[in-house]
Structure 1
């Protein structure tokens, strides 16, 4: 701490070679550095397992994989947060717009009950913007998979189709997910 300027100095140890990043940023007058709790990244195994279950459940419910994925994200997904606030969007409150949202893969939205009339006289529904599951850490992915497993069981997909004994052991060991 510099007691005259009241500024603090911070020393960092990095796990990767940061020389290229330093070269790119060295002439910047100011930088923004975010410090947050370390969370283990989710594994590709968890992602692959998630999509196997999405496919099984979508077939059982006669839905498309994107529609099933969005339903799962609506129930168990993570909100997009900017400046510590959830992000909202408004979309025409039509069946066509709702179908597009339901099958979207480039964005994920969670419907709210809020509908307002626009200056153009049309009705607009407010949606919460959800993060794509590809951004999830292992804890968030575990919550998503746990929710998907509940949905599979509710759809009466047999436990033997949800996970093999080895998959159950790995899910419990790596992510704390009970099948």
Structure 2
């Protein structure tokens, strides 16, 4: 898969059909891609968001470990509590007899991928299950929210964090 950042979008029509054109920032990559296409392509377009920095994930885990040590719990518990607070989840109706298996399958995607049973669904024989996404798929905004919450929690119990200036600098790099 190839990703391009499109600054502008335009369409046009000619004798061949309708064209959707993108003004991209990486000229060489766009040219190489266009020249290598030999078969029809599947095209998906979505709003551009910068991928989060690995530094963001590293700093989140510094904070998570500090909070876990403070409270005497496992870091995974702090992580999952904060994943739930950020709120990246979908609700799915799942057959009652398959809910445990569904939780296992969903959870196999990673540490932050967990489920919560919300009780009976409108559908007979089903329960509603909240399925949380781990931070591995968070965009910059979601990761920033996660870190803000962790920083607030650390400050509330006297755990030192980066200075506001350093946090602002890191967030600018993530944006």
Q: Structure 1-normalised TM-score? A: 0.63
The match for 2:118 is 113
Distance 1:19 1:5, change over 3 A: closer
Matched, 1:163 2:161: yes
SS of alignment partner, residue 113 of structure 1: strand
The match for 2:60 is 50
SS of alignment partner, residue 9 of structure 1: strand
Distance 1:126 1:64, change over 3 A: farther
The match for 1:82 is none
Distance 1:115 1:135, change over 3 A: same
Report the structure, 1 or 2, having the larger strand content.
Answer: 2
Consecutive unaligned residues in structure 1, runs of 5 or more? 80-85
Distance 2:155 2:132 in 1: 24
Distance 1:21 1:71, change over 3 A: farther
Distance 1:150 1:111 in 2: 25
Where in structure 2 are the equivalents of 1:98-177 lying within 5 Å?
A: 105-106=110-111, 108-111=113-116, 113-115=118-120, 125-154=127-156, 156=157, 158=158, 161-165=159-163, 168-175=164-171
CA contact (8 A) 2:91 2:128 kept: no
Distance 1:153 1:127, change over 3 A: farther
The match for 1:88 is 92
The match for 1:31 is 42
The answer to which of 7-16 and 50-59 deviates more is 7-16
Distance 2:114 2:87 in 1: 10
Matched, 1:74 2:74: no
Distance 1:34 1:40 in 2: 15
Distance 2:114 2:170 in 1: 29
Q: Structure 2-normalised TM-score? A: 0.64
CA-based RMSD: 3.7
Distance 2:51 2:37 in 1: 26
SS of alignment partner, residue 58 of structure 2: helix
Consecutive unaligned residues in structure 2, runs of 5 or more? 1-11
